[in-house]
Structure 1
Amino acid sequence: MMKSVDYIVVGCGLASIAFCELLRNNKKSFIVFDDNSQQSSIVAAGLYNPVILKRFSEVWKAKEQLNLALPVYKRIEQDLKIKIDYKLRILRRFTSIKEQNLWFNASDKPKLEPYLSTQLVKNTNEFIDAPFGFGEVLHAGRIETEKLIHAYKTFLKENQSFVEARFEYQNLQVSPHGLIYNDINARQVVFAEGFGVKNNPYFKDIPLNGTKGEVLIIKAPQLNIDYGIKSSVFIIPLENDLYAVGATYNWTDKSNIPTEEGKQELINKLKTFLQCEFEVVQHLAGIRPTVKDRRPLVGQHAEYQNLYVLNGLGTRGVMIAPYVAQKLYQLIENNTALDFEINISRFN
């Protein structure tokens, strides 16, 4: 028996989940294929932070993204009966008076004023070296991405909407009238595979660079903080004295294998300001789907009109995913043109 659905979605990371939520809310039938080969969404710290803390500048379309994203995660929490959204103070550690001044200058800019506190936060933790204090980012938080993805896959399985298997491209039959994949007939296929798109014959030429990121989970009982710190690396509190520390940026290694070099880089940077004992309890790695112009890759195949791509979310997938998912859905269902800056056609 042939099964008919509106959509096949390939991949089950942040981009895919955001798109599936739109399908669910609009009563579209779909099935998701995922083989667990892509780790970037699971490894990700899951921060939503409207400010680029290296340069004290606004994240691209930060307000629009947050306004869309947070209700999506709240709805998922309600429907799946899980807790994944945690409001989190993020403190940017200053290394000089100059950085303090740059922060306060940035806080006067209209687009940044809602997100940058003008109150200098003094360091009160004896195990953190921060003589120049911190600046506090407002309206920030963390999505527990690993919990989200595992729970969402379980939810899809319970609704017979998930296949835990590799998508075999050679089995896809494409015609103007529809798509057939094994025993499934679909109107559209959306590829949301992250760096795995490099193996996709339909979209393998999109300019996705891929940047390897490594993260440590450390146990530091003395640290005792309930806020995140951004310095040469970030520290994000988890639970039970555990903290996520990251991340590295490697543009040549395209494997998900943690490296000793990455581990030592993170430890060395962490020790420049953390002054208590800690133990590394886990070491993770994944390939971020990054693009040279730091914009997502969304669009329609030039020849096969019912094949689409949703990719290139980079380092801010938690914020960007619902925004670009909505743009793609509007393109497919309402023929609403994509903004040039996210359309894959910009590289033609």
Structure 2
Amino acid sequence: MKVDYFIVGLGLAGVAFCEQLRKANKSLLVFDNNSQQASLVAAGMYNPVILKRFTEVWMAKEQLALAQPYYKELERLLNVKLDYKLKLYRRFASIEEQNIWFTASDKPNLEPYLSTTLVPNKSPQIDAPYNLGEVFEAGRVDTTVLISNYRTYLKSHSQIVTDGFQYEALQIEAETLQYKNHEANHIVFCEGFGLKQNPFFNYLPVNGTKGEVLTINVPGLKIDYAIKSSVFIMPNSDEDYYVGATYSRFDKTNNPTEDGKAELSSKLKTFLKAPFEVVSHKAGVRPTVNDRRPLVGTHASHKNLHVLNGLGSRGVMISPYAAKQLFNFIENKQPLNPEIAIGRYTI
């Protein structure tokens, strides 16, 4: 079987690159064995502001401009609901935080995203004596529904192999790639933290950061918006809510931990006054990079080997942008944004 592209990995990066190929009428074959869980356990929230420091997400405007129509197109393709517009409020812990917020909202790049009107807390079960600040252009993508339905879509078109990829079986020639009984012109590795095992790109500095999230049941809370404080709480369905997330640089497993559960519960109790029950607890290792930029580009010696990785905790927003950058780099010889190009690191 001969295709234009092999793609290894079907997280948010892999789906986004598949979509670039589909729209360009390029043939593809995906290899994925569900080994990387970061995209599946992500709560899927997106917003253009880093709410810990009240700073703009890198290239937020450009990312949102691509992401919004991208998810609409995926909803049409898969016939499912994916993108849920969601009010997002930052809980203020002090008057000082309010002042920092208002100072940030005066900056030209943040003005479109930060409301200058304080929102009073109307829920008796939320402790927010200093009120809330609203973030515009926020929402949630149901990443579990996205990836499971996209796998089904690929299966229906015989475009996915659900085995682990064996690097030693890849035969590299100048103009073609051979993998078992398959042949392709290019291969794109979208493996998340699994890139550490990749002999072609394992020199790249992917520092896995484990994240744990809870689903909790809170009878009677009845909030239809997300709140970000020391952790976030976000509506899921009925009386269930997502709570997250932890950041661990040392544990590189996908196993939920009691420490992670205790940390999330403890932080949540600082502002949620209602009793809650933990319904589920999940974990995954995000592919993070120290400079907080994706890893996008082509191997220095093999011009048909490419990488799309390092999306970190903002994969929902940045994946369409990064995938388009790589596609245009390979197919149209357009230069990559130097901030995401892997040329910033050497073998």
How does the TM-score come out when normalised to structure 1? 0.99
Q: Does 1:80 find its partner at 2:81?
A: no
Q: Which residue does 2:294 correspond to in 1? A: 296
Distance 1:146 1:208 in 2: 23
Identical-pair percentage: 60
What is the RMSD of the two structures over their aligned residues, measured on CA atoms?
A: 0.6
2:319, 2:122 → 1: CA distance?
36
Amino acid paired to 1:193: E
Q: Residues 22-37 of structure 1: matches in 2 within 5 Å? A: 22-37=20-35
- Asked if the contact 1:299/1:343 (under 8 Å) is kept, the reply is yes
AA paired with 1:132?
A: Y
Q: Is the 8 A contact 1:222 1:277 kept in 2?
A: no
Secondary structure at the aligned position of 1:18 is classed as helix
Task: Tell me which residue corresponds to 2:342.
Answer: 344
Deviations 1:123-165 (A, max 9, x none): 1111111000100001111100000000000000001111111
Matching of residues 263-302 of structure 1 within 5 Å:
263-302=261-300
Which residue does 1:316 correspond to in 2?
A: 314
Q: Hey, what's the Cα distance between the residues in 2 that align with 1:337 and 1:113?
A: 30
What residue in structure 2 maps to residue 42 of structure 1?
40
1:12 aligns with 10
Q: Is the 8 A contact 2:175 2:304 kept in 1?
A: no
Q: Give the aligned residue type for 1:7.
A: Y
Which amino acid in structure 1 is aligned with residue 166 of structure 2? E
Structure 1 segments of 4 or more deviating over 2 A? none
Following the alignment from structure 1 to structure 2, what is the Cα–Cα distance between the partners of residues 177 and 227?
51
Alignment of 1:217-236 (within 5 A): 217-236=215-234
Report if the CA contact (8 A) 2:126-2:272 is conserved.
yes
- Structure 1 match to 2:168: 170
Aligned match of 2:186 in 185, 188, 191? 188
Q: Would the aligned equivalents of 1:38 and 1:286 in 2 still touch at CA under 8 Å?
A: yes
| Structure 2 unmatched ranges of 5 or more | none
Number of the residue aligned with 1:67: 65
1:205: Cα distance to partner? 1.2
Shift of 1:222: 2.0
CA distance in 2 between partners of 1:64 and 1:48 (Å): 14
CA contact (8 A) 2:210 2:286 kept: yes
Q: Structure 2 length normalisation: TM-score?
A: 0.99
Q: What secondary structure sits across from 1:190 in the alignment?
A: strand
Count of equivalent residues: 346
Decide whether the 8 Å contact of 1:19 with 1:329 is kept in 2.
yes
Q: How far is the alpha carbon of 1:105 from its aligned partner? A: 1.1
